[in-house]
Each structure stands twice: as C-alpha cells, then as structure tokens.
Structure 1
Amino acid sequence: MSFTDFAPIAAETVWRVVMQAAGYQCQCTGGCKPEGAHKTNPGHRCKREHKPWQPLIVTAAAPTGDPHKDMGAEQVAYCGPCYDGHLAATKRTARAAADKHETDTPLFDLAPEGSDL
C-alpha cells in the first residue's frame, strides 16, 4: 500500500484525477502568502506531498470557502497551510472590492434636481 491509496470517501474520482495530475504534490506556487512563499523551491512550488499524516485536499485554485462555488472552478491540490493562505487572500481581495464599492457609491444623492453637483 502506498501513500496514494489514502483517498477521501467523497468525490474520490475527482480527487484521484487531480492528484495524479499534480503528482501527489501541493500545486501552490506562492500565492498562499503575500511575500511570495516557495521562492527558493524548484519551479516555486510547495514541497509538501500527500501522506496519510499530511493529506492534500482538492479545491478551487482560488478558494472562496463556499463548496458550491468552488466545485465549478478549476480544481487543484493544496496542502492545509497553502489552502488557508489562498482562502485568506481571496477573502482579502473580496473585502477590498466591497470596501471600494462602498466608498465609490454614495448612500444618498443629496444634490438638488437640476444642479451640476
């Protein structure tokens, strides 16, 4: 029995296809941390491999935390720390976009009709 035999019960077929394409290695290339993690690794790729005590997960390349949205996106293999980093980065981006929209859109238009304000 090899470490590739430890697959999840749910969505095993998709998991195996993604893991085989990934070579049973985390596919993160540094987007998990703002300062560019994995810079010194060959191909800038995370070194973690799938093992029973350190399993990789199959998730969206830019996870949202919503399994329904993530299921339809491009699927990749991530280790736990890289997944957490990508999820935090996605949430930061969404929060920044929401904040920008909030400041760009006035709650009330207080200019009188016919005015050029």
Structure 2
Amino acid sequence: MTRRPPLGVSAVWQTVMEAAGYRCHCTGGVCGSQHAKSGMRCHRTADNHRLIAAPADLLLTPAVAAAVPAGRLLAWCPQCHTGALARQRAAARNLARNEAPEPAGLFDL
C-alpha cells in the first residue's frame, strides 16, 4: 500500500482519508464524470493515487480554505479535483454574468 500522507499537515490528511475510506469522495457529476462504472463514486483510492484533502467549495481563498476544519474537508483525487474546480469556476462565471445589470441601450436617455 502507498497510503503516504503529503508533507506538512499529515494528521489532517489522515483524518480526512479515514473518514473517506481512503477513496476519492467525488460522486456522479461533481467533476464532470458520472463515475457510472464504479457505483456513481470515483474509484480512485489512496492505494493507487495521491489523494488530497480540500473543502467541497473549491473557490474558497487559500486563507479561508486553510481554516476549514478537518471534519469538513473531503478526499479528492487530482483528476476529480481539477474537474470539480473547473465546473465550480464555470458556474461562478455564469452566475456573475446572469447577475450583471443590463447594459444601457445605445439610444436610452
């Protein structure tokens, strides 16, 4: 087994991985994959991939993310983390675009 924690806060990583069963938490659609071949949950584990601990809201600033307690962090494989981050960024852009005020008309007075 290669369940090696990353350098740094290994106790936090260990807590998160134990809660996740040493498996990426990602479920169907979060990262863009339905994970249909693995029961709607990512098949990647700490035995064969380097998992990371990160919050569900991947758009948090680094300072805010660092303050998230270990019990609220999730296990992510790099592929699901990248996919989920891209989807969250796209959703935030769409929300900002939809909330932006209508531009003034060319001939409005």
Q: TM-score, normalised by structure 2?
A: 0.80
Cα shift at 1:60: 1.0
Residue 41 of structure 1 aligns to which amino acid in structure 2? S
2:87 partner SS: helix
Whether the 8 Å CA contact 1:26–1:56 is kept in 2: the answer is: yes
Structure-2 separation of matches of 1:106 and 1:63: 29
2:13 partner SS: helix
Match of 1:46 in 2: 42
Query: How many equivalent pairs are there?
Result: 104
1:77 partner SS: strand
Cα 1:76–1:56, aligned 2, differ >3 Å: closer, same or farther? same
Aligned Cα RMSD in Å? 2.5
Gaps of 5+ in 2: none
Gaps of 5+ in 1: 113-117
Q: Which has the higher contact order (CA 8 A, sep 6+)?
A: 2
Match of 2:78 in 1: 80
Cα shift at 1:65: 6.3
Cα shift at 1:107: 5.8
Match of 2:58 in 1: 63
Is 1:90 aligned to residue 88 of structure 2?
yes
Which one has the largest radius of gyration?
A: 1
Q: TM-score, normalised by structure 1?
A: 0.75
